[in-house]
Amino acid sequence: MKELPLYASNVVQDSEKEAYDVEMHNFQNDRFSDIVEESVDLWWRDVENTSKYPLLSRMAFALLTCFHEPKVESSFSILNNVITPGSNRLNVSTFNAMQCI
């Protein structure tokens, strides 16, 4: 989790990375109940409501959010054109070659 800001630079800004590291350290040393009955998004909502880990909460929600912008949706449309019932058994190298064409 410590390296996530490298992959989600739009969620945690460079100026917030030190604070993120401090939150991460505190989070790892914090005590939470071992058994959680609620879903992960509700658990992170509860964490966010404590205002104790705002950057970690922001990162968690960003990672739990489904992608839904036009580029992602168009990628799925393209995949539907490539992956058909007849081509679903292609190996990875053949599929990669088809994507390049």
- Note the pTM of the prediction, 2 decimals: 0.59
Res 67 pLDDT > 90: no
Tokens for 96, please give them: 């990669």
51: left (phi over 0), alpha (psi -120 to 50) or beta: left
pLDDT at 86: 65
Separation of alpha carbons 34 and 37, rounded Å: 10
Separation of alpha carbons 69 and 25, rounded Å: 33
| CA atoms lying within 13 Å on the CB side of residue 70 | 0
Name the residue with higher pLDDT: 90 or 8. 8
